[in-house]
């Protein structure tokens, strides 16, 4: 789990630096952030619930945002649809009710739909 946290933080650092406007090659940073998010997501697959699931959802959301910023609408849409399927599956299993998933759902769901519709 530590390596997943480190990879996610590397992705997030590159993502935020690219968005800050304080770097000469923001697209390059976004591409690197996308690779880190993808790698971290791949490591998290099959790790079960709990923190790994939260990192999966956060990685998908952020990866979708990166793709959207890069103008790769179809890749962004795939990420957001996959995220919605995970959230919907959790809701069906009633794992969202009264848990940390509910907080994620409230904070990220509107951004996810915006990503699909724009």
> Concatenated DSSP letters for 80-94?
HHHHHHHHHHHHHTT
Task: Note if the pTM is more than 0.75.
Answer: yes
CB 58 within 8 A of CB 8: yes
Specify the residue for token string 């990879």: 7
Residue 19: predicted pLDDT: 93
Calpha distance 59→65 (Å, rounded)? 10
Q: Which residue has the tokens 């890069």?
A: 70
* Amino acid 25: pLDDT: 92
Nearest to 60 by CA among 88, 92, 34: 34
> Would you state the pLDDT for residue 10?
95
- Measured distance CA(82)–CA(57) in Å, rounded: 9
pLDDT number for residue 118: 55
Angle between helices 51-69 and 2-20 (to 10 degrees): 20
Q: Are 79 and 64 in contact (CB under 8 A)?
A: yes
Rounded Cα–Cα distance for residues 19 and 117 (Å): 22
pLDDT along the chain (118 residues), means of 10: 83 95 91 95 73 80 93 92 81 60 60 57
Question: How many CB atoms neighbour CB 53 within 10 A?
Answer: 18
């Amino acid at each position: 789990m530590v390596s997943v946290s480190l990879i996610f933080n590397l992705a997030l650092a590159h993502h935020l630096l690219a968005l800050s406007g304080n770097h000469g090659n923001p697209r390059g940073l976004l591409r690197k952030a996308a690779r880190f998010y993808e790698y971290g997501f791949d490591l998290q697959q099959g790790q079960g619930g709990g923190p790994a699931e939260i990192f999966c959802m956060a990685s998908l959301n952020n990866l979708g945002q990166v793709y959207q910023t890069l103008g790769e609408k179809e890749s962004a849409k795939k990420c957001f649809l996959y995220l919605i399927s995970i959230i919907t599956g959790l809701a069906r299993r009633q794992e969202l009710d009264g848990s940390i998933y509910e907080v994620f759902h409230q904070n990220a769901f509107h951004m996810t739909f915006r990503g699909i519709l724009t």
